[in-house]
Chain A
Amino acid sequence: GQNIDQPTEMTATEGAIVQINCTYQTSGFNGLFWYQQHAGEAPTFLSYNVLDGLEEKGRFSSFLSRSKGYSYLLLKELQMKDSASYLCAVRDTGGFKTIFGAGTRLFVKA
């Protein structure tokens, strides 16, 4: 079956580094996305990984290991505005459907 697992909630301190993990089981794989979603707002695109390795984009980095069905999103120099839900999503090859995880709610405290 299709399954994406990520922690429900995480708490971190302003200025720190946090890693949000995502594991997936899908019938096929054609890329993994991370989205940020503030409460009451639309998801906004953060990153896309299709090959193994680390993709860095400013304070945010995303890592993928296809053999392990594993990804993480790394947020550095945390700011209060980073408090949001982070959605991991996998694009399946069967029909090119994108499946979303339930999201990880990140709380950044002062």
Chain B
Amino acid sequence: EAGVVQSPRYKIIEKKQPVAFWCNPISGHNTLYWYLQNLGQGPELLIRYENEEAVDDSQLPKDRFSAERLKGVDSTLKIQPAELGDSAVYLCASSFAGTSGDTQYFGPGTRLTVL
């Protein structure tokens, strides 16, 4: 079974430029998460989807960040414009409601560097 797929793996951009990340969850997983992880820290939730509905986006900086999951499968996270402080790893995870505690399975992440 394929795991969570993310692309690109690495992205280097200049500040004020836009950037987008893509995630394809594990087949059949209805819940999708986007996390931000800074070096030496744990993942911090940006947004959680149940199917195509964003059920928790309280930590998403909506002035510059947006996300969508149009058909309840894959998802895109966008930053526009990017700032220096956005340099981090962006992790996507998925889970299936009803499994033990909604165990989350993570993708490899996108490492963003903003210059």
Task: List residues of A whose CB falls within 8 A of some B CB.
Answer: 4, 30-31, 33, 35, 41-45, 48, 50, 87, 89, 91, 95-98, 100-103
How long is the Cα–Cα vector from A50 to B106 in the complex, in angstroms? Answer: 21
Contact B41 A48 (CB under 8 A): no
Residues of B contacting A31 in the complex (Cβ-Cβ under 8 angstroms) = 100-101
Interface residues on B, range: 20 to 34
B101→A87 contact, CB < 8 A: no
Binding site for A on B (CB under 8 A): 4, 40-45, 48, 55-56, 91, 100-109
A59 to chain B, nearest CB (A): 20
* Cβ-defined contact, B45 with A42, below 8 A: no
- The answer to whether B106 and A44 touch across the interface, beta carbons within 8 angstroms, is yes
A30 contact from B45, B55, B101, B108, Cβ within 8 A: B101
